[in-house]
Homo-oligomer: A and B are copies of this chain.
Amino acid sequence: MESIARLSLNQITTERASLEATVEACARHGIPYVAVWRHKIAEVGLERAVRLVRDAGVRVSSVCRGGMFPAPTAAGRAARIDDNRRAVDEAAALGAEVLILVCGPAPDRDIGAARGMVADGIAEVVPYARERGVRLGIEPLHPAFAAERSCITTLREARCLAQTFDPATVGIVADVYHIWWDPELYDEIARARGHVVGFHVSDWLVPVRDVLMNRGMMGDGVIELPRIQAAVQGAGYAGPIEVEIMNEAIWNTPLDTLLPLIKERYVACV
């Protein structure tokens, strides 16, 4: 059990299952943490989500996601801030350690301006999150998603942004799928000491087909997982490690087959 003491099942890995089925399976297979997505909370309502997680005896490593700050109008940006406050509320209710921020794409061709909207948006959410004891985790996304999901694409950019805030409230989330290719990967992980608030694992499959759904089970791709894990640990991160895999074949695997495989690969490959 010690070897999986930090393991968290990110719920997108079991996208076809309900929150109830997922947390029950975590409990049955001894997986101590779950990362909860908001569309799964919405399916059952927040109160019932809180009860399901509590009754299963599973802890919540993160809620996914806040962010999506850039919008073409001030009213649009204000609506995003409101939605982020609701996400903070959900994270607080679930006792989540972190609210993941997927920062959002530019609404037009001006990615620089969008980055400014992200910084402004986080600044607006910070006081609300601090009051509720929720940390915000800026997750840089792979540059393949720069036009559709996040204008924040590198560890360096996420770290520099996080360092403009109190580290008790804002940090960065390192997801191997998004960062493995970075020539400054290890330097940046070291520089992020004290700012890492989440660590996500999966693998990069070859060949790439659909880049969104290309994530694989740890060990099935090209990512140097043990080296990255050692670096993140060396930078002081000792929290939950989420397994986050978007992949149709994995989504179609029954939970009682999938969860033992996740545990096995986590122990062997991470």
The verdict on A210 contacting chain B, using a C-beta distance below 8 Å, is yes
| Complex interface bits, A139-167 against B, C-beta within 8 A gives 1, otherwise 0 | 00011111110011110110000000000
Q: Whole-angstrom distance from the CB of A27 to the nearest CB of chain B?
A: 34
Residue from B106, B145, B183, B224 within 8 A of A153 (CB atoms): B183
The reply to whether A206 and B156 form a contact with Cβ atoms under 8 Å apart is no
Residues of A within 8 A of B (CB): 106, 108-111, 115, 142-148, 151-154, 156-157, 180-183, 204, 206-212, 221-224
The reply to whether A223 and B148 form a contact with Cβ atoms under 8 Å apart is no
Residue from B152, B183, B204 within 8 A of A154 (CB atoms): B183
Bound complex: CA A181 to CA B152 (Å): 9
The reply to whether A209 and B206 form a contact with Cβ atoms under 8 Å apart is no
The reply to whether A156 and B142 form a contact with Cβ atoms under 8 Å apart is no
Bound complex: CA A39 to CA B145 (Å): 31
User: What residues of chain B lie closer than 8 Å to A153, measured between beta carbons?
Assistant: 181-183
Bound complex: CA A151 to CA B222 (Å): 12
**Apart from A108-B222, A109-B222, A144-B211, 19 more pairs, CB < 8 Å:** A106-B222, A109-B224, A111-B181, A111-B224, A115-B183, A142-B143, A143-B143, A143-B181, A145-B208, A147-B204, A147-B208, A147-B222, A148-B206, A152-B183, A153-B183, A156-B183, A157-B183, A209-B210, A210-B210
